Amino acid sequence: MNLRENSRGEDVKTVQEILKQLGFKPGGVDGWYGEKTEAAVIRFQEQHHLYADGIVGSNTWRELHQALHIHIEEQINPQVENGYQTELMDWKRVPADKYRDGYDRFFLRQDAAEAYMRVRERVIEAGGKLTSSGARRSLNAAVSASRSATSFHYTGRALDLFVGSAMENRNRDPFVVAADGDRCWRVYVRAEGGESMKIEAVTYGSRNQGRLISGRFIDLTALFETQGFKRIRARRSFFTGGSWLGAEWWHFQYENGLEKGVSTFGDELLKVYTEKQIRRTPVWQYRTRIFGVNWF
Ligand SMILES: [Zn+2]
């Protein structure tokens, strides 16, 4: 997209509205990119260290939205200074059930930790297990094909159940996994106090063809969902014989408080790290990714 002098339309109107909100005086909000709008864009670009050509391309467009978001947040939340929150959210250590090489504890940011504990309470009550392969990812961890550069793990919003605690032995694993629509899974916890169910369980060895098993289970995917945790899709390659690490049945991410088209990866990093801590790390370059647009 490129908006410049004499452009017309809804996007121009959006640019004018944002500039007006931010105090850059673009003239009337009329959808016509005139001289005043161009001058306001140049002032905005200069102030934001962008190439000041008076043209709204994708960088300026993104920066405008981010600046608006910060502006709104500043009005709502007086703790925010210079656009960044000065009070960080705590990381909380939460317990998990050790299973084989899994962990017996991991870290989440405070609100996600509290939501996780509500899920855990219900699972333990029914006699089930919640295992862990960890949650918090180091900011300096290398980004690779199997690790998203903008993973929720960096922001304290994601957890992984132990990767070896399902899809191996349908009759004994603490979890069983069933296909549930387009590359999605439904994960069940085996628990005496659960419901009696029949589940078409898949394994790493038999990925496309489930086998019916019965037992007592809790629908963990549904339980997580009630507390704001969403599943993610398996990688396409998983179904065509690719690495078992593409299954992703174990991953749940806490999406409460995120707004599609508004929340950015950078905003979320800044809730748990200071800018000083993150600005030289590899993930910081992805800070402008927007939730639901180019950050999932
Ligand atoms: Zn994960």
| Ligand 1 center from residue 154 Cα (angstroms) | 10
Query: Could you tell me what percent of the chain has a pLDDT over 70?
Result: 93
Beta carbons of 40 and 19 less than 8 angstroms apart: yes
The answer as to whether 3 is a domain residue is no
Beta carbons of 30 and 20 less than 8 angstroms apart: no
| Ligand 1 center from residue 93 Cα (angstroms) | 17
| Ligand 1 center from residue 206 Cα (angstroms) | 22
Residue with tokens 């019965």: 214
Q: What is the pLDDT of residues 88-125, one digit of tens each?
A: 999 999 999 999 999 999 999 999 999 999 999 999 99
Average pLDDT over residues 74-98: 72
Q: Which H/E stretch holds residue 120?
A: helix 110-125
pTM of the model: 0.71
Q: What is the pLDDT of residues 113-164, one digit of tens each?
A: 999 999 999 999 999 999 999 888 888 766 665 567 899 999 999 999 999 9
| Ligand 1 center from residue 232 Cα (angstroms) | 9
Helix (H, G, I), strand (E, B) or coil at 179: strand
| Ligand 1 center from residue 151 Cα (angstroms) | 8
126: which 2 tokens? Answer: 């029914």
Asked whether residue 116 falls in the same domain as residue 169, the answer is yes
Q: Of 30, 47, 76, which closes a domain?
A: 76
Residue 141 burial by Cβ neighbours in a 10 Å radius (0-12, 13-18, 19+):
middle
| Ligand 1 center from residue 117 Cα (angstroms) | 18
| Ligand 1 center from residue 252 Cα (angstroms) | 7
Q: Of 51, 76, 101, which closes a domain?
A: 76
| Ligand 1 center from residue 249 Cα (angstroms) | 9
pLDDT value of residue 80: 47
User: How many domains in the chain?
Assistant: 2
Residue 25's φ and ψ, nearest 5 degrees, are 50, 70
Question: What are the C-alpha distances in Å from 201 to residues 131, 154, 166, 209?
Answer: 19, 31, 10, 8
Q: What is the pLDDT of residues 282-295, one digit of tens each?
A: 899 999 999 999 99
Judged against a pLDDT cut of 60, whether residue 21 lies above it is answered with yes
Q: How far apart are alpha carbons 296 and 264 in whole angstroms?
A: 10
Contacts of 65 (CB under 8 A, 6+ apart): 18, 262, 290
The answer as to whether 160 is a domain residue is yes
Average pLDDT over residues 33-48: 91
| Ligand 1 center from residue 246 Cα (angstroms) | 10
The conformation of residue 263, written as its DSSP 8-state character, comes to -
| Ligand 1 center from residue 135 Cα (angstroms) | 7
Asked whether residue 37 falls in the same domain as residue 140, the answer is no
| Ligand 1 center from residue 248 Cα (angstroms) | 7
Domain span holding position 54: 10-76
The answer as to whether 5 is a domain residue is no
| Ligand 1 center from residue 224 Cα (angstroms) | 14
Q: What is the pLDDT of residues 249-267, one digit of tens each?
A: 999 999 999 999 999 999 9
| Ligand 1 center from residue 159 Cα (angstroms) | 6
Asked whether residue 105 falls in the same domain as residue 67, the answer is no
